[in-house]
Amino acid sequence: MIRRVGCGLAIVAIWLLVFGTAAHLRWNAPLLPQQRLGLDANAFRVVMGAGSQDGTSLRVGRVGEDGSALQMMPVAQLRAEDYAVLRYRFDGFPRTLELSFVFRRAGEDDVQTATVPWPGDGWHSIDLNEVPGWHGEITELGFAEYATPQIAPESNAFRPFRFDRTELWSASWRGSFGALYTSWFGCTPWALMSISALGPQREVAQPAPLLPFALAATVSSLLAAGLLLRWPRRLLLQRLCMACAALWIFLDLVWLGDFRAKHQLTEAVYAGKGWSERAALVPDQDIRLAAEQLRSYFSTQPGHQILVIADSKYTFLRLIYQMLPLNAAPLDQALGLRWPRRDTRIVLYQSTQWHYDDARGALIGAGRALAVEPVFEAGDVHVYKFRGAP
C-alpha cells in the first residue's frame, strides 16, 4: 500500500515538474494570484470600429475603415513586472478574426501589439513574460481585432461579437498552467507556413510544444511506477508500449480538434457559396481585383510580354498567377539578364521602391531607369510601354 501511495506521489511530482517546466512556472509563486486587476469590457473606449455597452460587456458591431476594430482603456500606475498572466473572455468571437493584445508604455507614442490565441468559449490566458515589450509602466491597454492575415478575406471576415472582460494576474501556479492550457489546446488558423510545419505559430509568444513534454511525463511516470512497484521488465515494456499508443491517440485527438477548428474558419468563409463567389473570396482580394483590371485592359490589346513590379515577392507572384493566361514575369528576375523587347508592357502595382518620373519619362527604381510611356492606370495599377534604356 505504501509503495502504491509513494508511486502516486512520485507521478504527481513528475507531472508537476514536467508541466511546470513547460509552463515556465516560478516554483516559489503562490498557487493563486495575489494581485488581480479585473477590467470589465464596458470600461473600454472604442477607438476603431463601433461598439455599444451591454451590461458589463461591450458589443462590437462594426470594424473601422481599415478593416479592424480597437478597444483601449487607460490604466494608472500599472507596472508590467507585477503581472505575469493576461486572461480574456469574449463571446461569439468570429473564427475569421484574429485578436491582438495592445498596450502602451509610459512616454511612448506607439503601442505594442502581440497576437494572442483565438478566444473561443470561456477564459483564455497568455503568459505575459513571453510578450516582447511587456516591461516598465503601462499607461493604456486593450484589444484589436482584424481579419486573420493570410487566410480570411477582409470583406467577409467581420461578424459582431461581445467582449466580456479581461484580467491581469500576478504570477501564480494557476495562471501559468492556464496559459499553458490555452497555448496547447487553443485554436490556431491555417497559415502559409502550415503546409511546411505545424509548429511555428503566428502568435508572438511561441508556446512550449506539447509533444516532448507529454512524452517525458508519460515515460518518466511509467519508469517511476516500474521502479517503485517492482514491475518485471516484460510488464514495464508492455505498459510502455500501451502508454505510447495511448499518447499517440491523445496527440491525434488534439490534432483532430485543431484540424476541425481550422476547418471551421473555412466553413465560415466559403460554405453555401457558389464556385465563382468562392474564387473571389481570397485573402488578397486587392490583388485579385488588380488582376481583373489588367486582364480586362489587356484583352483589348495584342499579345505582349508583361513584366510585373511590386514590393513583395508574394504580391508580384500572386498578381501574375491571378492574371493568367497573360504572359507575365517578375521584373526582379529579368533585371540584368537582357533588355526586354521594346513593346514589352511593365505593370507597376503598389510599389514604394519604383516610381514613374514624368519629367524623364522613366520608371526609376533598384538603381535603374527604364524609359517608358504610361498607357493605362486604374487605382494602384499602372501599365507602361517599355521604350528602352534611357
Partner 1 sequence: MSAAFVLAWILPLVCGMAVYAAIDPRSAPGRRAAVFGYGLVLGLLLTAAATALCARADTTHAVRHTAPCLLLLALLAGATTWWRTRRAVRAPLAAPPARVEKWKIVLGAAALLSLAWRSWLALREILLRPTYPWDAWDAWAVKSKTWFLLGHYAPFVSTRDWLGQHPPDAYTGPAWSYPSALAWMQVWFASGVGDWIEPLVNLPWFALWLGLLAAHYGQWRALGLSRLQALAFVYVLGSLPLLAVHVALAGYADLWIAALLGLAILSWLRWLGERNRNQLVLALACAAALPLLKLEGTVWLLLFGATVGYGALPRQRRKQVAAVLVLLLLIMAVVGKLLLPLYGLGWVNVGTESIDVPVLGRLPIGWHPGALGGLTLSLFAQSNWHLLWWLTPLVVAWRWRELRAREATRLLGLFLLLGLSWLAFLFLGTDAASWAESFTAVNRLVMHLVPATVSLCALLCCAPRRARRGRASAYAVQPAAA
Contact footprint for partner 1 (CB under 8 A): 151, 190, 192-200, 209-212, 215, 244, 247-248, 251-252, 254-256, 258-260, 263, 266-267, 269-271, 275, 278-279, 281-282, 305, 314, 317-318, 320-321, 324-325, 327, 329, 333-334, 337-341
Q: How far is the CB of 283 from partner 1 (least distance, A)?
A: 8
Helix (H, G, I), strand (E, B) or coil at 23: coil
Which residue's CB is nearer to partner 1, number 224 or number 254? 254
Q: How far is the CB of 215 from partner 1 (least distance, A)?
A: 6
Cβ 92 vs Cβ 54: under 8 Å: no
Cα-flanking dihedrals φ and ψ of residue 45, to 5°? -95, 135
Q: How far is the CB of 295 from partner 1 (least distance, A)?
A: 10
Q: How far is the CB of 30 from partner 1 (least distance, A)?
A: 30
For residue 284, give the DSSP letter.
T
Task: Categorise residue 111: left if φ over 0, alpha if ψ from -120 to 50, beta otherwise.
Answer: beta
Cα-flanking dihedrals φ and ψ of residue 247, to 5°? -65, -40
3-state per-residue secondary structure call for 70-107: EEEEEEEEEEHHHCCEEEEEEECCCCCEEEEEEEEECC
Which residue's CB is nearer to partner 1, number 27 or number 275? 275
Which residue's CB is nearer to partner 1, number 115 or number 166? 115
Q: How far is the CB of 258 from partner 1 (least distance, A)?
A: 8
Q: How far is the CB of 253 from partner 1 (least distance, A)?
A: 9
Which residue's CB is nearer to partner 1, number 335 or number 364? 335
Distance CA(259)–CA(188), nearest Å, equals: 9
Residue given cell 513528475 in the structure block: 14
Distance CA(198)–CA(203), nearest Å, equals: 13
Q: How far is the CB of 273 from partner 1 (least distance, A)?
A: 9
Which residue's CB is nearer to partner 1, number 73 or number 334? 334
**For residue 206, what is its C-alpha cell?**
511561441
Which residue's CB is nearer to partner 1, number 57 or number 201? 201
Which residue's CB is nearer to partner 1, number 107 or number 274? 274
Which residue's CB is nearer to partner 1, number 126 or number 308? 308
- List the helix and strand counts (H, then E) for the chain: 8, 18
Q: Determine the angle formed by the axes of helices 2-22 and 210-228, rounding to 10 degrees.
A: 160
**For residue 116, what is its C-alpha cell?**
494572442
Nearest to 253 by CA among 182, 179, 184: 184
Tell me how long the chain is.
390
Q: How far is the CB of 82 from partner 1 (least distance, A)?
A: 32
Alpha-carbon Rg of the chain, whole angstroms?
27
Distance CA(230)–CA(363), nearest Å, equals: 80
Residue given cell 491525434 in the structure block: 252
